[in-house]
Amino acid sequence: MGILEGKKILITGVLNTSSIAYAASEVAIAEGAEIVLSGFGRGLSITQRAARKLGESVKVIELDVTDESHLNSLVDQLQPWKHLDGVLHSIGYAPPSCIGGDIFQANFLDVATAIEVSTFSLKSLTQALLPLLKEAPTGASVVGLDFDAQVAWPGYNWMGVAKAGLESLTRYLARDCGPMNIRVNLISAGPIRTIAAKSVESFSSFQDDWGQKAPLGWNPTDATGVGRSIVALLSDYMPQTTGEIIHVDGGFHALGA
Q: Is 53 a catalytic residue?
A: no
Evaluate if pTM is beyond 0.85. yes
What's the domain count of the chain? Answer: 1
* Domain assignment of residue 128, given as a range: 8-252
pLDDT in tens, 238-254: 999 999 999 999 999 99
How far, in Å, CA of 137 to CA of 140, rounded?
8
What span, in angstroms and rounded, lies between the C-alpha atoms of 141 and 104?
Answer: 37
116-155 tens-digit pLDDT: 999 999 999 999 999 999 999 999 999 999 999 999 998 8
**Residue 130: which CATH number?**
3.40.50.720
pLDDT band for 206, please (50, 70, 90 cuts): confident
State pLDDT tens for residues 146-191.
Answer: 999 999 998 899 999 999 999 999 999 999 999 999 999 999 999 9
What is the edge-to-edge ordering of all strands in the sheet holding 59-62? 59-62, 34-39, 8-12, 86-89, 140-146, 182-189, 245-248
Give the annotated binding-site residues for NAD(+): 13, 19-20, 64-65, 91, 163, 192-196
Report the mean per-residue pLDDT for the chain: 94
Whether 163 sits among the annotated catalytic residues: the reply is: yes
Q: What is the pLDDT of residues 18-55, one digit of tens each?
A: 999 999 999 999 999 999 999 999 899 999 999 999 99
